[in-house]
Amino acid sequence: MTDTISRDVTAAAPAATTKSARTPDVTRRRISVPHLLLIPAIAILLIGMGYPLVWQIVTSMQEFGIQQQFGKPADFVGLQNYLTLATDPTMWQVVGRSLLFCFITAALTLIVGILLAVLMTAVGRTARLTLQISLLLAWAMPVVAAMTVWIWLFDDRRGVVNYLLDMIPGVDMNRFSWLSNPLTFFIVASVIVIWMSVPFVAFSAYAGLTQVSDEVLEAAQLDGANGAKRLRYIILPMIRPVIMIVLLLQLIWDLRVFTQITMLQDAGSKAGEFDLLGTYIYKLGAGSQDFGMASAVSIFVLALTLAISWFYVRSLLKEDEQP
């Protein structure tokens, strides 16, 4: 599937550009087809993200607070904001917490999603459709709506979760306040994020699995490979491209998860030990009006994301280098 990526072939370009697409020639002087194709995407990125990105970089090197927002000239402070961050233990706690949350949540999401996809291929039509529809409904829930329901489910007084857990003999969960303690707070957050993200992973993996041919699996089975081995040596490698991109997306999303955490904080606690990077930036910027620092953290998060997704970037660039 992926081996066609790097083939230097004639384009499947849309009608408007077909003529010139016939003989792609990189060294040609006039604007080439691929450049034309990229123009809209580049233009919208420059318009929509270019200025904010530049502003962010510039601001991260300024002392920019509410006074500056109201017109006072901002002092250029070079890398001072970054230095302040680097020496701030709170910042590193947030980074550590965010990375932990991100890795655990992304890994669980991926595992559960792939297992559900495998389950879909293993059961009959009715069971598969039921599972797919319920995942689809969960996926369709708007985040704000979903958060509202979840917060209520985990409510310490009238929450169904406590009510059901309390019914188990020997378990006293009456009035258990899930959102008061960082550990249970992040467990709840993780459960919610996994619940929301698994459908996307499961559907993507399922789409990948339908591409795995039955013959290969049957052959492997006849050769004595058990279920786990088939999964490990045949299925996973074959859906690897899908998994890679899904993993990348989950890592990026989970690292800077914002809406879920900020809504849980509204319901629970706003204290610093409940912050992840997303809410930390928001508190610095919108909350404390320290836009210089907020920008510096944003740029740092950009670098951090790049670092943890390096595995993907590298494999992409490698793919590119192949003849």
Residues 85-114 that bind other proteins (CB under 8 A): none
Pick the binder of other proteins from 30, 158, 169, 224 (CB under 8 A).
Answer: 158
Pick the binder of other proteins from 306, 311, 314, 315 (CB under 8 A).
Answer: 306
Residue 204 phi, psi dihedral angles, 5° rounding: -60, -45
Sorted by sequence, the CB contacts under 8 Å of residue 210 that are 6+ apart come out as: 121
Is 223 a binder of other proteins (CB under 8 A)? no
268 burial level (CB within 10 Å; 0-12, 13-18, 19+):
buried
Instruction: State the DSSP code for 16.
Output: G
Is 295 a binder of other proteins (CB under 8 A)? yes
Is 218 a binder of other proteins (CB under 8 A)? yes
Is 272 a binder of other proteins (CB under 8 A)? yes
Pick the binder of other proteins from 172, 226, 237, 287 (CB under 8 A).
Answer: 287
Strand 75-76, strand 62-63: pairing: antiparallel
Size of the site for other proteins (CB under 8 A): 140
* Beta carbon of residue 77, minimum distance to other proteins (angstroms, whole number): 15
Q: Which DSSP helix (H) or strand (E) runs through 63?
A: strand 62-63
What is the DSSP secondary-structure string of 72-87?
PPPEE-TTHHHHHHHT
CA separation for the pair 148, 260 (Å, rounded): 10
27 or 169, CB closer to other proteins? 27
Q: How far is CA 171 from CA 1, 175, 247, in A?
A: 52, 12, 36
Is 119 a binder of other proteins (CB under 8 A)? yes
**Six-digit token pair at 311?**
């595995």
Pick the binder of other proteins from 110, 116, 117, 205 (CB under 8 A).
Answer: 116
Is 200 a binder of other proteins (CB under 8 A)? yes
Segment interacting with other proteins, rule: CB under 8 A, options 75-83, 99-107, 229-237, 293-301? 293-301
- Are 188 and 179 within 8 A, CB to CB? yes
* Residue for token pair 């899904």: 246
Segment interacting with other proteins, rule: CB under 8 A, options 73-81, 101-109, 128-136, 229-237? 128-136
Instruction: State the DSSP code for 32.
Output: P
Q: Cite the DSSP H helix spans in 156-210.
A: 160-167, 182-209
Is 249 a binder of other proteins (CB under 8 A)? yes
107 or 155, CB closer to other proteins? 155
CA separation for the pair 227, 236 (Å, rounded): 12
Is 82 a binder of other proteins (CB under 8 A)? no
Q: How far is CA 280 from CA 59, 96, 166, 179, in A?
A: 17, 13, 34, 18
Pick the binder of other proteins from 61, 102, 120, 239 (CB under 8 A).
Answer: 120
Is 315 a binder of other proteins (CB under 8 A)? no
Q: How far is CA 10 from the centre of its chain?
A: 34
Binding mask 136-155 for other proteins (x = CB under 8 A): xxxxxxxxxxx-xxx-xx--
Instruction: State the DSSP code for 3.
Output: G
Binding mask 15-34 for other proteins (x = CB under 8 A): x--x--xx-x-x-----xxx
* Beta carbon of residue 232, minimum distance to other proteins (angstroms, whole number): 18
Is 171 a binder of other proteins (CB under 8 A)? no
* Beta carbon of residue 34, minimum distance to other proteins (angstroms, whole number): 4
* Beta carbon of residue 78, minimum distance to other proteins (angstroms, whole number): 19
